[in-house]
Amino acid sequence: MNIFRNGFSEDDTTLWLRLIEGDDTALDKLMKRCFKELYHYGTKFSKDDDLIKDCIQDVFLDLWERRHALRTDVQVKPYLFVILRRRIYRVWQMNQLQTDLAAQPDFSVEYTVEENLIQSESARLKAHQMQQLLDELPDRQKEVIYLKYFQEMDRDQIAQTMQITPQTVSNMLQMALKKLRGQWREDS
């Protein structure tokens, strides 16, 4: 939440409603507030920085152009994640048609927490082992882990972002954690 000097706060929902009403400063504030997280999320689908930045800009341009048709009752962050993901895939599909490539982009998660937090060599080894275990998870399970623990989304927000049911989110999270725990015990 953004706290202003006068003590008032303005959350994403307030900015969203102001955007729908045609307030271009709300659009600008929302974009500045969400850009970093959207960019970080976009890097999970593409390593092309320019493509990700262009897609984020396109998302906000589309929001502005369609502001009169936008719903007022959305959870802003998951909604932005969904439309960014769709935009990246749409661009990817267009590029696929142009270059006739067959591979689909992988959802990759790079967990670099160890660089700042880990002091000892044994801790670095454990972090490396965990990275390897995470890399072995299916893409959708990695995405659920990322959204849950790195974006701090709840089950319903993850379901909305990934366009699956909340029960599927719970199942995928449980399967991923079970696999990680089992592999961790075997390796330790």
Q: How much is the CA Rg of the chain, to the nearest whole Å?
A: 19
Q: Using CA atoms, how far apart are residues 80 and 66, in angstroms rounded to an integer?
A: 14
| Domains, the chain, ordered by start | 9-99 (1.10.1740.10), 114-187 (1.10.10.10)
pTM over 0.75: no
Q: Using CA atoms, how far apart are residues 20 and 81, in angstroms rounded to an integer?
A: 18
Report the run of H or E that residue 3 belongs to, with start and end: strand 2-3
Tell me the pLDDT of the chain (188 aa) as tens digits: 443 333 334 688 999 999 999 999 999 999 999 999 999 999 988 888 899 999 999 999 999 999 999 999 889 999 999 999 989 888 887 776 655 444 555 555 555 544 444 445 555 566 667 777 778 888 898 888 888 877 888 899 999 999 999 999 999 988 888 887 877 666 55
**Residue 21, Cα to own-chain centre: how many angstroms?**
27
DSSP state of 43: T
Q: Using CA atoms, how far apart are residues 46 and 42, in angstroms rounded to an integer?
A: 6
**Residue 64, Cα to own-chain centre: how many angstroms?**
21
